[in-house]
């Protein structure tokens, strides 16, 4: 069968893009390599417990917010189970050096008042900072779902300055400068490299209120599959794309691992652009384009510890807990030695539909560079060898030893432990080097780290976290840009807004 669109990768970006195009009457087919759909939304089961993989907390689902508008348009909001995090502190930042805990609240007032308790003399500066975040985020028409003629990336110097410089200009207190950067692990921020707009958009997104999926984020992926299928499309799992057959600047067909081939009018790759190009014969892609895409640096990765608690033994936290050994390590989580790892962690107790006085599980993320697992890069899951298992055990012991200091007695509450490494992320999502958020944005080289949906191959387009921005918000907006190549970005934005106004 010939489809209008074949989408490579059934992660968040592929699914949203597939839904947008299905709603325009196109026949869409999604090919997903994993046995289950969803990418970052996918959950896995271990010891009878569901664990999230790539979506720990989100925002934008409340009334009038951007994701509620987009997902309302896609008709996938029904029966979604979500839980708002505490407004006074949706994140807690704990600094080991002086054993101090900071509250990061959502909403202008909560954020400013929460930090003014610790930094009263900076109250006015906090106000200036928040008002700058609000003002500058208005410049992104797509983020605000406003139809415009200009490109999202026609940015001024204020937005493309290094993130560290942007934050530091507001505050006198050296500690506060770092505290305000607490969330840089949400975008793998680098002090003198990440453009300020990434911090501005991610901060604005979460300052509007943070939410978690209850019982995991898979529900959103499953709802999107229903929309695509209801429109006559297909979604195939366990279908790893291995080759794109390109001739005369056109994709002719796609081959999957079991040898089957699929054809369509247009092809959208919702996986890493460099991985996409690796699946095309060298002679069919301009050398300069391939070199540019493959030479871009990717964001760092993460080691994750998944914990199952004994019944009613550990409290549920309705916030995320960030731990940093020192103020300086906030910007330096990926700069460590074998001895000094980890330089920080972000942990959460995901909610379940039961009562949530006690936590059933905990997920602990620690930044880890791919180099740490490079030794095993040519091995496969479950067959990486004893030395890999021993490496994972050592990492687990280090994390537990920090957790014991933060939460005395936690070791007695743990029933089961499991782990994932950068190799797990690489092999399950196809993300280059297990990168958390794909290609690193570089304020010193804005143009080359900015990837657009169109490629040098006429009927091949890109979507997902490497276009525009990462995270659930970034890929949703990228999907609008990619689908907009066929029906118009403003047309989609108008339809999304009109549909929302009907409610
Ligand atoms: C540990 C972790 C925590 C995160 N936490 C958050 C969070 O709390 N909030 C947030 O907003 N963002 C978070 N993110 C980021 C977010 O998950 C990503 O930005 C988002 O999932 C990217 O969406 P995507 O569609 O580009 O890629 P993905 O969702 O990763 O989807 C890519 C899909 O393509 C499939 N695929 C790969 N290769 C092939 C192939 N050859 N053939 C067929 N299919 C293929 C993969 O299996 C996968 O399903 C987190 C990421 C990680 C890794």
Domains and CATH numbers, the chain: 2-68+216-296+438-501 (3.50.50.60), 86-96+104-209 (no CATH), 300-434 (no CATH)
Whether 484 lines ligand 1, by a CB cut-off of 6 Å, is no
Kindly give the pairing relationship between strand 250-256 and strand 241-247: antiparallel
Kindly give the pairing relationship between strand 261-269 and strand 460-462: parallel
61 with 211: CB under 8 angstroms?
yes
* Predicted local confidence at residue 150, as pLDDT: 55
pLDDT of 229 over the 60 cut: yes
Residue the block writes with tokens 């949706």: 90
**Residue-wise DSSP of 188-216:** T--TTTSBHHHHHHHHHHHHT--EEETT-
Kindly tell me the burial class for residue 281, based on how many C-beta atoms sit within 10 Å of its own C-beta (0-12, 13-18, 19 or more): exposed
pLDDT of 43 over the 90 cut: yes
176-226 confidence digits (pLDDT tens): 999 999 999 999 999 999 999 999 999 999 999 999 999 999 999 999 999
pTM of the entire structure? Answer: 0.97
* Predicted local confidence at residue 155, as pLDDT: 76
pLDDT of 47 over the 90 cut: no
What is d(CA 275, CA 466) in angstroms, rounded to the nearest whole number?
Answer: 12
Range 35-57 average pLDDT? 94
What is d(CA 110, CA 281) in angstroms, rounded to the nearest whole number?
Answer: 54
CA of 436 to the centre of ligand 1 (A): 8
**Residue-wise DSSP of 278-324:** HTS-GGGS-HHHHHHHHHS-B--EEEEEEEEEPTT-SB--SSEEEEE
Q: How many Cβ atoms sit within 10 Å of the Cβ of residue 280?
A: 18
- Phi/psi of residue 235, each to 5°? -130, 115
CA of 115 to the centre of ligand 1 (A): 33
Q: How many Cβ atoms sit within 10 Å of the Cβ of residue 391?
A: 20
What is d(CA 489, CA 487) in angstroms, rounded to the nearest whole number?
Answer: 7
pLDDT of 388 over the 90 cut: yes
What is d(CA 460, CA 249) in angstroms, rounded to the nearest whole number?
Answer: 9
CA of 261 to the centre of ligand 1 (A): 24
Residue the block writes with tokens 């990061």: 104
Range 375-389 average pLDDT? 96
CA of 295 to the centre of ligand 1 (A): 21
Whether 350 lines ligand 1, by a CB cut-off of 6 Å, is no
Pocket test for ligand 1, best of 6, 7, 11, 345 (most atoms within 8 A of CB): 11
pLDDT of 55 over the 70 cut: yes
Range 406-426 average pLDDT? 97
* Predicted local confidence at residue 446, as pLDDT: 86
User: At 1, is the pLDDT very low, low, confident or very high (cuts 50, 70, 90)?
Assistant: low
439 with 467: CB under 8 angstroms?
no
């Amino acid at each position: 069968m010939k489809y209008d669109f074949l989408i490579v990768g059934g992660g968040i970006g592929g699914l949203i893009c597939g839904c947008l195009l299905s709603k325009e009457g196109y026949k869409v087919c999604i090919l997903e390599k994993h046995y289950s759909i969803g990418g970052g939304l996918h959950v896995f089961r271990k010891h009878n417990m569901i664990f999230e993989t790539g979506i720990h907390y989100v925002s934008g689902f409340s009334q009038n917010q951007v994701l509620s508008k987009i997902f309302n348009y896609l008709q996938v909001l029904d029966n979604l189970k979500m839980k708002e995090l505490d407004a006074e502190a949706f994140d807690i930042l704990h600094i080991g050096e002086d054993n101090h805990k900071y509250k990061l609240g959502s909403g202008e007032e909560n954020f400013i008042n929460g930090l003014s308790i610790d930094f009263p003399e900076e109250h006015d500066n906090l106000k200036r900072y928040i008002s700058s975040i609000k003002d500058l985020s208005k410049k992104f028409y797509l983020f605000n779902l406003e139809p415009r003629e200009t490109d999202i990336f026609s940015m001024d110097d204020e937005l493309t300055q290094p993130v560290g410089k942007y934050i530091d200009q507001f505050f006198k207190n050296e500690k506060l400068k770092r505290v305000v950067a607490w969330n840089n692990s949400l975008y793998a921020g680098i002090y003198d490299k990440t453009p300020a707009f990434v911090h501005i958009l991610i901060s604005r997104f979460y300052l509007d209120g943070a939410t978690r999926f209850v019982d995991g984020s898979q529900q959103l992926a499953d709802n999107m599959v229903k929309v695509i299928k209801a429109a006559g499309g297909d979604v195939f799992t366990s279908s790893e794309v291995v080759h794109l057959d390109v001739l005369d600047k056109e994709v002719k067909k796609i081959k999957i691992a079991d040898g089957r081939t699929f054809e369509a009018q247009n092809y959208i790759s919702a996986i890493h652009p460099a991985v996409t190009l690796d699946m095309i014969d060298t002679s069919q892609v301009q050398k300069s384009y391939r070199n540019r895409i493959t030479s871009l640096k990717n964001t760092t990765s993460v080691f994750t510890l998944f914990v199952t608690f004994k019944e009613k033994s550990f409290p549920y936290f309705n916030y995320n807990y960030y731990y940093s050994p020192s103020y300086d390590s906030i910007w330096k989580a990926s700069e460590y030695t074998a001895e000094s790892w980890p330089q920080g962690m972000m942990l959460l107790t995901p909610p379940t539909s039961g009562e949530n006085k006690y936590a059933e599980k905990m997920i602990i993320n620690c930044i880890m560079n791919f180099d740490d697992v490079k030794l095993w890069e040519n091995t496969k899951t479950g067959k990486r060898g004893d030395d890999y298992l021993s490496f994972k055990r050592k990492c687990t012991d280090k994390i537990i030893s920090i957790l014991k200091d933060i939460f005395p007695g936690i070791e007695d509450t743990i029933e089961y432990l499991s782990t994932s490494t950068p190799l797990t992320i690489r092999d399950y999502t196809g993300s280059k080097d297990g990168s958390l958020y794909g290609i690193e944005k570089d304020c010193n080289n804005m143009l080359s780290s900015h990837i657009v949906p169109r490629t040098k191959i006429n009927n091949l387009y890109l979507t997902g976290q490497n276009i525009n921005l990462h995270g659930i918000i970034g890929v949703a907006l990228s999907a609008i840009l990619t689908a907009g190549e066929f029906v118009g970005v403003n047309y989609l934005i108008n339809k999304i807004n009109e549909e929302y106004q009907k409610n």
